[in-house]
A and B are shown apart, each in its own frame.
Chain A
Amino acid sequence: MVESIPSLAALKRHIASLDRAPARDACARFATGHAPLDDALGGGLACGRVHELFGEGEEEGAAAGLALLWAQLAGGEAPLLWLRTQGAARVGGAPYGPGLAALGLDPARLLIGTMADDAMLLRAGIDALRCPALGGLVMELRGRAPLLDLTASRRLALAAEASGVTALLLRIGGAPTPSAADTRWRVTAAPSAPLPGNGPGRAAFALTLLRRRAGSDGQAWRLVWDRDRGSFGDAGDERHDDGRDRADAYAPLSGAELPLSAGRSAADRAA
C-alpha cells in the first residue's frame, strides 16, 4: 500500500504528460452573440473541437440550420463543407441555395458532399478536418450511427484539434452515446416571434446543453438568428410583436435549475 502511492503519482504524471490538457485551455472560442450562452461557456463555443447537435427526425430543418450557422460563425469567410449520406439526401431533402442565402449563408462558399454511406462519410470527415483552410465542417449522420463510436469520435476530435477546424456533428434521430465531443446539445425549433399578421418570424432555436467537457451542463437557452447582424440574439423581438402573443414572447430560460429530461440515458452521463 505504501509503495503504491509513489507509483500512482508517477502514473498520474505520465498520464498528464500524454494528455493534451494545456492545449485545451488555450483554445480560441467563437461567440454566438447570445450573451447568457456565451457567458455560460466562457466566451462561446471552442474552435477546433467537435460539437454534437442532436435533433429528432422532425427537427432536421432547425438542427441543420443551427449547425450551418455555427460553422459559419466559427469559420468566418472560409468555405464550409456539409457532408451527408445519400440516404439523408433522399429522406431529408436537398440543401436549397436561395434558402441558405436567406439565412445569410453564402451558398457559393458551401461545398456539399453526398457520400454513399456512414463509413465513407466518416473517412471524408477526417480528411476534411485535416485541411486547415476549411472554415467549418458539418457532418450529418442519421439514426444510431453505430460506426461513430468513441474511437471514431476521438479520431475526429484529434484531427479537429490539430487543424483548428470546428466540426459540428449533426445527429438526426440519434441517441447520445459516449463520445469525445467537446459539447453536446439537443436542438429543437422554437416558436418564433410573430410578424404583424401572425406570420412566422425569424428562425428561433431551443437549445439544451446535454453535456460539456470540464463544465456544468443541463442549461437551456432560446436563440433567435439575426441575419442582418450576423449573430444570435435573445428571443424577444419587440419590433414585430403585435401584443397579442405576449405569452409566446419567451424570456430566455434561466440557467442551471432546469430539470434534466427524464429520457436522458446513463450512457450520456457517463460519457
Chain B
Amino acid sequence: MVVETVRGAMRLCSVDADALAIGLAPGMTLADARACEPDLRVFDADPHADQDWLERLCDGCARYTPNAAPDGAAGLMLDISGCGHLWGGDDALAADAVERLERHGLRVRHALASSPEAAHALARFPGPPAPDEDAAVRRLPVEALGLDPDSAVALRRAGLRTVGDLASRPAATLAARFGEEAIDALDALLGRGHRPLAPRRPRAAVRIDRLFAEPIGSTAYALKILEDMAAQAGDRLAERGEGGRRFEAIFFRSDGLAFPLRVETSLPIRDAPAILRLMRERIDALSDPIDPGFGFDMLRLTVPQAEKLAPTQLALEGGEARREDSVAALVDRLSIRAGRARIQRLAPRDSHMPEQAQLALPAVEPRAPESWLERADAAGEPDDPPLRPLHLFDPPQPIEVMALLPDGPPRRFRWRRGLHDVARYEGPERIAPEWWHANDGAIAGDAIGRTRDYYRVEDARGRRYWIFRHGLYGAEATHPAWYIHGLFA
C-alpha cells in the first residue's frame, strides 16, 4: 500500500485488493492500519513518478490509436473510432491492450462506450453484463456522475440510487436542486452531449509507422530502418512543399514502453541524412541510453511541426552550399547536443535599464525581426567611443569607491581585491528607473529602484569599466553604494 502525509498524519492513499479485504481503506491513518495488521508493506506516494509512468503508458498506447490521453490520475482514454478492424474488432483491441498492460503487473479494468464519460464511468463502476450500453449506463450508481460527495449523498437520501433514476426525472428540478453540473454530467454520461477527447499528442503533419513481425533487438538496426522512414517522410514533405521543424521518433518496445526522441531544427529540413544525424546527436546526449530490452516491435516517425520549404533542385557544380555546411545546421547540432538554451542569440529589448535592454533567446528559434542597428543608444554619434560595455554583470557587483565628494566622480575603487586609480572618467550618465515599473532597477534587498549615476572610467593601466552610484546622495540615500556593472573592451 502507498502512504502520503495529509494534514500532519501518514494516511493511506491507495491500497491493494488484499488490504481492502481485511478492511483497510484509503484515508485511514497508517497507525490505525498498523493496528489492524502489523505486517503491512508500505511505500511513499510519488504522484509525479506515477504521472510520468502513466504518460509513458499513454505514449505506448499510440500503437492503437493516435487519439490517446491520460484520464485522471490512474486511467487511459483511447478514442478507437475506426481503429478496431485493424485488430480484428474492438474487443480484440481491448483484450490486446489489457494483456500488454497486465504484463507490467498492473490490474486493469476497461470499458468500451460511445462517449468518453460513459467509458470512464463504466470502467470504474463495473456491474453485471447489460444488453446494451444505454442499459449499462442507466444501472450505474449516482456516484458515477462524478459530483461532489455531498450531492451524491443528497441524491441517495432522495431515493435516487442509479443514473437511470435520475434520467427519468425532469431536468429542471434536478438543476434547481443540484446545479447545472449535475445535468451536464448526466447528459455526458448518456451520450447526449459531445465532448471531444484532447489527445496527449496533437495530430502530426506526417506520420510513418513501421511494424515488425519479430521484435528488433539492436538499436543500430532500428536506426537504419529509421533512416529509411526519414527518406519516406522527406518525400511526403517534398510533395507538399514543406520541411519539418520538429521531428519525433518513437521506439515502441514489445513490453509497452515507448522511447521518444525529439529533435528541433532552426530551419525547415527534409533531408533524411540530416534528420538522422540530429537523431544520433540526440541519442549521444541521452543520460540513459535507449534500452532495446526484449526488442522494439514498432517504430514511428512523426513531423509535428512543418513549415513551407521551397522545392530544391539538385545542387549544381558551384551551386548552393550544402545544407550540412550551413550555420543553421551547426546551430541545430550544437543545440541538440548541449541543450536548447545553451546556444543563444541576443535580441534587443526596448528598455532604459541597461540589464533589461537585451534578451538572450535560443538560437534554434526563428530569428527575431528587431534590428540592433536602428537603436539610438547602441552606436551613438559617429565619432564616439563605445558608451556601453562589452560584458555586463547581472547582478552588478558591489565595489568600494573613494570620491572627493559624496556626489562627485570616483577617484579610486576596489574591485576583486584589486585597487584601481581612476585616470580618466566621463559622467555621470543618469539612468532613472522607469517610473511605471516601480521595482525596476532594484538591487537585491531594495524595495524600489533608485536613480543610477553611471561613469565610464579608465584606470591607470588603461582598463575601462562601467560603474555607477546607486541612489542620489541626500535625496534617495545617505551613503549611496557603488557597483561595477560592466567591462569595456
A residues neighboring B (CB under 8 Å): 57-62, 64-66, 68-69, 78-79, 81, 92-104, 106-108, 110-116, 120, 123-124, 127-128, 131-134, 188-192, 194-195, 197-206, 225, 227-228, 239
B109 → A minimal CB distance (Å):
46
Other-chain residue from A79, A113, A114, A190 in contact with B462 (beta carbon distance below 8 A): A190
With A97-B357, A197-B426 already in contact, 12 other A-B pairs whose C-beta atoms are closer than 8 Å? A64-B391, A68-B489, A93-B391, A94-B392, A96-B391, A104-B379, A111-B344, A112-B360, A114-B342, A127-B333, A128-B330, A133-B325
Cross-chain contact B338 with A111 (CB below 8 angstroms):
no
Q: Given A102-B379, A203-B385, verify A95-B334 contact (CB < 8 Å).
A: no
Give me 30 A-to-B residue pairs in the complex whose CB atoms sit less than 8 angstroms apart, sorted by A's number: A58-B463, A61-B390, A64-B390, A79-B327, A92-B487, A93-B391, A94-B394, A96-B358, A98-B357, A99-B390, A99-B391, A99-B486, A102-B379, A102-B386, A106-B372, A108-B346, A124-B337, A131-B325, A131-B329, A134-B327, A189-B461, A189-B462, A192-B464, A195-B385, A199-B424, A200-B385, A200-B424, A200-B425, A201-B385, A203-B386
* Residues of the B chain whose Cβ atoms lie less than 8 Å from the Cβ of A93: 391-394, 486-487
Other-chain residue from B331, B390, B464 in contact with A96 (beta carbon distance below 8 A): B390
* Residues of the A chain whose Cβ atoms lie less than 8 Å from the Cβ of B331: 111
B381 → A minimal CB distance (Å):
10
Kindly supply a per-residue 1/0 record for chain B positions 256-269, scoring 1 wherever the CB is within 8 Å of any chain A CB and 0 otherwise.
00000000000000
Other-chain residue from B346, B380, B489 in contact with A61 (beta carbon distance below 8 A): B489
Alpha-carbon distance between A199 and B337 when the two chains are bound, in angstroms: 46
B residues neighboring A (CB under 8 Å): 321, 325-327, 329-331, 333-334, 337-338, 342-348, 354, 357-358, 360, 363, 367, 371-373, 375, 377-380, 382-394, 416, 418, 423-426, 456-458, 460-464, 486-489
Alpha-carbon distance between A65 and B325 when the two chains are bound, in angstroms: 27
Q: Given A94-B392, A101-B372, verify A112-B343 contact (CB < 8 Å).
A: yes
Other-chain residue from A78, A99, A195, A225 in contact with B388 (beta carbon distance below 8 A): A99
Identity of the chain B residue whose Cβ is nearest the Cβ of A163 in the assembled complex: B325
* Residues of the B chain whose Cβ atoms lie less than 8 Å from the Cβ of A127: 330, 333-334
Identity of the chain B residue whose Cβ is nearest the Cβ of A80 in the assembled complex: B327
Cross-chain contact A110 with B346 (CB below 8 angstroms):
yes
Identity of the chain A residue whose Cβ is nearest the Cβ of B367 in the assembled complex: A108
Q: Given A61-B389, A64-B390, A114-B344, verify A199-B372 contact (CB < 8 Å).
A: no
Instruction: Sort A-B residue pairs by CB-CB distance and give the 10 closest, nearest first.
Output: A65-B489, A199-B426, A61-B487, A93-B391, A102-B386, A101-B378, A96-B392, A200-B458, A191-B462, A97-B358
A261 → B minimal CB distance (Å):
15
* Residues of the A chain whose Cβ atoms lie less than 8 Å from the Cβ of B423: 191
* Residues of the A chain whose Cβ atoms lie less than 8 Å from the Cβ of B373: 101, 106
Q: Given A108-B371, A112-B360, A200-B425, verify A124-B385 contact (CB < 8 Å).
A: no
Alpha-carbon distance between A195 and B387 when the two chains are bound, in angstroms: 13
* Residues of the B chain whose Cβ atoms lie less than 8 Å from the Cβ of A100: 346, 390
Identity of the chain A residue whose Cβ is nearest the Cβ of B394 in the assembled complex: A94
* Residues of the B chain whose Cβ atoms lie less than 8 Å from the Cβ of A111: 327, 331, 343-345, 363
Alpha-carbon distance between A69 and B390 when the two chains are bound, in angstroms: 12
Other-chain residue from B354, B460, B463, B486 in contact with A62 (beta carbon distance below 8 A): B463
B452 → A minimal CB distance (Å):
15
Identity of the chain A residue whose Cβ is nearest the Cβ of B391 in the assembled complex: A93
Other-chain residue from A61, A104, A115, A188 in contact with B391 (beta carbon distance below 8 A): A61
Q: Given A108-B372, A192-B458, verify A94-B360 contact (CB < 8 Å).
A: yes
Cross-chain contact A192 with B372 (CB below 8 angstroms):
no
Alpha-carbon distance between A78 and B344 when the two chains are bound, in angstroms: 16
A145 → B minimal CB distance (Å):
18
Alpha-carbon distance between A96 and B326 when the two chains are bound, in angstroms: 26
Alpha-carbon distance between A199 and B321 when the two chains are bound, in angstroms: 48
* Residues of the B chain whose Cβ atoms lie less than 8 Å from the Cβ of A203: 385-386, 464, 488-489
Identity of the chain B residue whose Cβ is nearest the Cβ of A114 in the assembled complex: B342
Cross-chain contact B358 with A64 (CB below 8 angstroms):
no
B402 → A minimal CB distance (Å):
18
Q: Given A61-B464, A114-B342, A192-B424, verify A134-B330 contact (CB < 8 Å).
A: yes
Identity of the chain B residue whose Cβ is nearest the Cβ of A107 in the assembled complex: B346
Cross-chain contact A198 with B425 (CB below 8 angstroms):
yes
* Residues of the B chain whose Cβ atoms lie less than 8 Å from the Cβ of A65: 390, 488-489
A168 → B minimal CB distance (Å):
14
Other-chain residue from A95, A194, A239 in contact with B390 (beta carbon distance below 8 A): A95
Alpha-carbon distance between A112 and B362 when the two chains are bound, in angstroms: 9
Cross-chain contact A200 with B378 (CB below 8 angstroms):
no
* Residues of the B chain whose Cβ atoms lie less than 8 Å from the Cβ of A97: 346-348, 357-358, 372, 378
Alpha-carbon distance between A101 and B358 when the two chains are bound, in angstroms: 12
Cross-chain contact A99 with B334 (CB below 8 angstroms):
no
Identity of the chain A residue whose Cβ is nearest the Cβ of B368 in the assembled complex: A108
Alpha-carbon distance between A68 and B487 when the two chains are bound, in angstroms: 14
Cross-chain contact A199 with B456 (CB below 8 angstroms):
yes
Alpha-carbon distance between A239 and B383 when the two chains are bound, in angstroms: 10
* Residues of the A chain whose Cβ atoms lie less than 8 Å from the Cβ of B327: 78-79, 111, 131, 133-134
* Residues of the A chain whose Cβ atoms lie less than 8 Å from the Cβ of B367: 108
Cross-chain contact B390 with A228 (CB below 8 angstroms):
no
Identity of the chain B residue whose Cβ is nearest the Cβ of A245 in the assembled complex: B424
B372 → A minimal CB distance (Å):
5
Identity of the chain A residue whose Cβ is nearest the Cβ of B345 in the assembled complex: A111
Q: Given A115-B342, A134-B327, verify A206-B462 contact (CB < 8 Å).
A: yes
* Residues of the B chain whose Cβ atoms lie less than 8 Å from the Cβ of A61: 389-391, 463-464, 487-489
Alpha-carbon distance between A227 and B379 when the two chains are bound, in angstroms: 9
B380 → A minimal CB distance (Å):
6
Identity of the chain A residue whose Cβ is nearest the Cβ of B418 in the assembled complex: A58
B343 → A minimal CB distance (Å):
5
B98 → A minimal CB distance (Å):
45
Cross-chain contact A95 with B391 (CB below 8 angstroms):
yes
